[in-house]
Amino acid sequence: MRCARAVVLTVSAALMPSAYAFAGPVPKDPSPARFRMRSEEVFIPMSDGVRLAATLYRPDVGKTAGKFPAVLEYLPYRKDDGTLADDLAKYPYLVTRGYVGVRVDIRGTGRSEGDPPDREYSEEEQRDGIEIIAWLARQPWCNGSVGMWGISWGGFNSLQIAARRPPALKAIVPLMATEELFHDDVHYIDGLFHVDEYELSMEVQPAITRSPDYPLDEASLAARFDNPPWSLLYKRQQRDGPFWRRASLKPDRYDSIAIPALLIGGWLDGYRDSIPRLLEKLRGPARAIVGPWNHSWPHDATPGPGIEWRREVVRFFDRYLKGRATGIETEPRLAVYVRHSHPPDTNLKTIPGEWRWEEGWPIARARDLTLHLTPDHALAPESTPPGAHTLACVPSSGVAAGFWWGDLVPDQRSADAFALVYDSAPLAEDTEILGFPRARLRASADAPLANWFVRLSDLAPDGRVTLVTGAGLSGAQRESAARPKPLTPREAVPLEIEMHFTSWVFPKGHRVRLAVSNALWPMIWPTPHALTSSLELGGSEGSRLVLPVIPFERRPRPSFEEPRAAPEIPYVRSAGGTWPGQWAVCRDEARQEVHADWSGTSETEYPWGRITDSESLSYEVSDIHPEAATIAGEGTTTITLADRVLAWRANLQVRSDAGHFYYELRRELRKDGVRIREKSWTEAIPRDFQ
């Protein structure tokens, strides 16, 4: 074991921020802040001799012996440069209250030894995770109890490792994560082919050698720079099956997790569907907080309001890692931020709404409200005589829905112009929904492969349209995502489209809008057919919308503190962020083509140098030839050191024709502007019902 770079931060425990309004008993406080934090690097030995680099954020007890629970965060995102600023802002709250924060680089990433994994959530990653937990529990400073936490990847593997039941793992806190990979993860949104900036960034970051020396010897470069691209592996796996099930809990592995879990999600995060499923099905004590946030930590998410979520985490870990009574197990199991209507605004800073406790999931008082799609483009409480609407698919439509089913998006009228649209009458009273709205369609297409997309929106009296939620479904996957089959052209089939988990209060006088289309570009790759679809309306089997309505009931509210200011970090400065970046869209009416460009940048200063990340993507699709779509992107990480400038770059292109996707990735490493290494991968991948 080797230790290095000890750092001591002093964090004040005197700040007591104000709380949100609360109508119930005030919960007990977490452990008080009474320690300073110090950090040290250790190398954790694996059974095969490889050592994994870990930073221990520890209470500074001087020469006094002390035993504390360990809380593990286990990522490939480079603890010494990629996540350092976040870690130094996040861990003091935990550590000063008597925990050891453990930030470990996955094998072959950051400062850890070994070869990189061949995919996310690999078997090797999870086996190593079990060994890490056992090692932590044996340390003289540990009380034998280990927790896991993390956002996104760290939330995913918290769930996955908990399912393997390592004995010392006592509780987990997954944030913005899912237990369902094929349908929910970023590679196939709703089970449909998707490419975005994440896949580009993950072809750059794993290729970078360890910090802060960034060696360029052959052994270091061969292990990482030459490692095959993960995105190529995913693009070969176009249907559900063992590849995706291995690390998923859905549909029948929820019983594998028996320890307590605190689940944290956001209405603008693409992974939020997991929260009610896990809350309902996990065997162990499960609690959840769902706020208005995007894919960010809840103390600094935009939009807000943010909360001091770390306080709730410490209360949770106090109970299950220290055995300290905090009253958390007697509180209602679901704290939910009920979103109120607002105009579409991609720069909104605060989502209007209010916090509320619910006893758990499902909510007993919820009621289904069925609205029928009618021939006069209405949503009506009663069925009408049969009818039908047809829609010529516009493959380039749907930009207003964004990158995934999350983040703030603009007014939906530009997307609605290319969809079949159905509006309710003005509502006679405020109407709240909470759950999974469902579109039950009866539809056909004149092609063997077609996708259907539904978007649920709030139509204000002034005409503005705010997206509430939505979802997509491939007609080929209507019965099974693992065994897709073609449509019979012009034969109507039932389609059950469950929209993504949502909360919304439609005000009196507003209308509910449902938009139905066959394209949602660039979120989803278009099918290769210029097609026309038909929607059956009215009658006993006509298309309908089912809303999960929540009748009003006075409920207590949780007392979440406002976020505390992060401690001063004098030696790390960050600016900007690649996500969510900036969009520009250009429609060429003469050629019936649409081009969309996206870009994002960020920069971080360290004592030893500067890291600049930049990414850009260009999307092109033709309404005449939807089979010939293209996504091209470039991601660069530039590391400026005292004696040299290193630039790792990846150029990715994915294009298609009627039968194949064509994948091209080129990695490049430059030193002081001179190319010193390059490697490319090219493959034609048969389209498999995508």
Q: Tell me the CATH number at 53.
A: 3.40.50.1820
- Residue-wise pLDDT for 501-511, tens only, equals 999 999 999 99
Provide the 8-state DSSP code for 325: -
pLDDT at 582 (0 to 100): 65
Q: Cβ-count burial of 145 within 10 angstroms (0-12 exposed, 13-18 middle, 19+ buried)?
A: buried
**Residue 42 half-sphere exposure, CB side, CA atoms within 13 Å?**
15
> Phi/psi zone of residue 659: left (φ > 0), alpha (ψ -120 to 50 degrees), beta?
alpha
Q: Is the link from the previous residue into 276 a cis peptide, with omega within 30 of 0? A: no
Q: How confident is the model at residue 149 (pLDDT cuts 50, 70, 90)?
A: very high
Going from the C-alpha of 213 to that of each of 216, 643, 645, the distances in angstroms are: 9, 11, 12
- pLDDT score of 312 more than 90: yes
644 and 536 assigned to the same domain: no
457 and 489 assigned to the same domain: yes
Q: How far apart are CA 198 and CA 553, in angstroms?
A: 41
- pLDDT score of 135 more than 80: yes
Q: Hey, what are 49's tokens? A: 């001799």
336 and 457 assigned to the same domain: no
Question: How does strand 100-105 pair with strand 68-75?
Answer: parallel
Q: How far apart are CA 566 and CA 89, in angstroms?
A: 5
What are residue 88's phi and psi, to 5 degrees?
-70, -20
Final residue belonging to a domain, choices 358, 386, 412: 358
Domain annotation covers residue 67: yes
Starting at the edge strand that comes first in sequence, how are the strands of the sheet with 169-175 ordered? 7-9, 36-45, 51-60, 100-105, 68-75, 142-151, 169-175, 261-266, 286-291, 334-339, 353-358
Query: 585 vs 678, which has greater pLDDT?
Result: 678
Q: How far apart are CA 255 and CA 411, in angstroms?
A: 42
Q: How confident is the model at residue 65 (pLDDT cuts 50, 70, 90)?
A: confident
Query: 597 vs 633, which has greater pLDDT?
Result: 633
329 and 419 assigned to the same domain: no
Question: How does strand 593-606 pair with strand 609-622?
Answer: antiparallel
pLDDT at 302 (0 to 100): 86
Q: What is the CA radius of gyration of the chain?
A: 25
69 and 152 assigned to the same domain: yes
Q: Which of 506, 381, 507, 369 is nearest to 438 (CA)?
A: 369
| Total count of residues recorded for the chain | 690
Which residue has tokens 């406002």? 562
pLDDT at 570 (0 to 100): 64
* One-letter amino acid for residue 672 of the chain: D
Q: Is the link from the previous residue into 426 a cis peptide, with omega within 30 of 0? A: no
Q: How confident is the model at residue 576 (pLDDT cuts 50, 70, 90)?
A: low
- For residue 49, the enclosing domain spans 7-17+32-191+240-358
Query: 571 vs 682, which has greater pLDDT?
Result: 682
- Residue-wise pLDDT for 384-396, tens only, equals 999 999 999 999 9
- CATH number, domain of 406, equals 2.60.120.260
430 and 486 assigned to the same domain: yes
pLDDT at 246 (0 to 100): 94
Region 132-141: mean pLDDT is: 98
Provide the 8-state DSSP code for 499: P
- pLDDT score of 210 more than 80: yes
* One-letter amino acid for residue 235 of the chain: K
SS3 6: coil
352 and 373 assigned to the same domain: no
Region 265-292: mean pLDDT is: 97
Q: Is the link from the previous residue into 362 a cis peptide, with omega within 30 of 0? A: yes
Q: Is the Cβ–Cβ distance between 633 and 200 less than 8 Å?
A: yes
pLDDT at 579 (0 to 100): 60
Q: Hey, what are 578's tokens? A: 């690649």
Q: How far apart are CA 474 and CA 450, in angstroms?
A: 6
Region 474-499: mean pLDDT is: 98
Q: Hey, what are 556's tokens? A: 């207590």
Going from the C-alpha of 559 to that of each of 22, 252, 356, the distances in angstroms are: 5, 35, 10
Q: Which of 198, 28, 210, 189 is nearest to 112 (CA)?
A: 210
Give residue 60's Cα distance to chain centre: 34
Domain annotation covers residue 206: no
Mean pLDDT for all residues in the chain: 92
Give residue 32's Cα distance to chain centre: 32
179 and 96 assigned to the same domain: yes
pLDDT at 595 (0 to 100): 77
Q: Hey, what are 678's tokens? A: 């390059």
Domain annotation covers residue 169: yes
pLDDT at 5 (0 to 100): 28
pLDDT at 171 (0 to 100): 98
Domain annotation covers residue 529: yes
**pTM beyond cutoff 0.85:** yes
Which residue has tokens 């002081």? 672
Query: 200 vs 63, which has greater pLDDT?
Result: 200
601 and 663 assigned to the same domain: yes
**Residue 648 half-sphere exposure, CB side, CA atoms within 13 Å?**
23
Q: How confident is the model at residue 186 (pLDDT cuts 50, 70, 90)?
A: very high
Q: With pLDDT > 90 as the criterion, what percentage of the chain qualifies?
A: 86
533 and 635 assigned to the same domain: no
SS3 491: coil
Q: Is the Cβ–Cβ distance between 536 and 543 less than 8 Å?
A: yes
Q: How many domains does the chain divide into?
A: 3
145 and 262 assigned to the same domain: yes
Beta strands in 211-285 (DSSP E): 261-266
Q: Which of 564, 566, 654, 571 is nearest to 606 (CA)?
A: 571
pLDDT at 581 (0 to 100): 61
Give residue 406's Cα distance to chain centre: 9
Q: Is the Cβ–Cβ distance between 663 and 683 less than 8 Å?
A: yes
Write out the DSSP string of 496-562.
EEEPPPEEEEEPTT-EEEEEEES--TTTSPPPSS--EEEEEESSTT--EEEEEE----------PBP
- Residue-wise pLDDT for 430-471, tens only, equals 999 999 999 999 999 999 999 999 999 999 999 999 999 999
Q: Is the Cβ–Cβ distance between 525 and 195 less than 8 Å?
A: yes
Please give the angle made by the CA atoms of 604, 608 and 613, to the nearest 5 degrees.
30
Please measure the distance between the N-terminal and C-terminal CA atoms of the chain and give it in whole angstroms: 49
- pLDDT score of 276 more than 60: yes
What are residue 314's phi and psi, to 5 degrees?
-65, -40
Final residue belonging to a domain, choices 517, 549, 581: 549
Q: How confident is the model at residue 635 (pLDDT cuts 50, 70, 90)?
A: very high
Final residue belonging to a domain, choices 322, 339, 358: 358
pLDDT at 20 (0 to 100): 34
Beta strands in 152-199 (DSSP E): 169-175, 188-189, 192-193
Q: Which of 507, 687, 548, 530 is nearest to 623 (CA)?
A: 530
Region 289-307: mean pLDDT is: 95
Query: 571 vs 359, which has greater pLDDT?
Result: 359
447 and 589 assigned to the same domain: no
Q: How far apart are CA 276 and CA 586, in angstroms?
A: 39
Domain annotation covers residue 558: no
pLDDT at 64 (0 to 100): 74
pLDDT at 95 (0 to 100): 97
Domain annotation covers residue 82: yes
Region 535-559: mean pLDDT is: 95
Q: Hey, what are 595's tokens? A: 């081009």
Provide CB contacts within 8 A for 590, sequence distance 6+. none
Domain annotation covers residue 225: no
Domain annotation covers residue 564: no
**Residue 331: its H or E element:** none
Q: Which of 422, 528, 529 is nearest to 465 (CA)?
A: 422
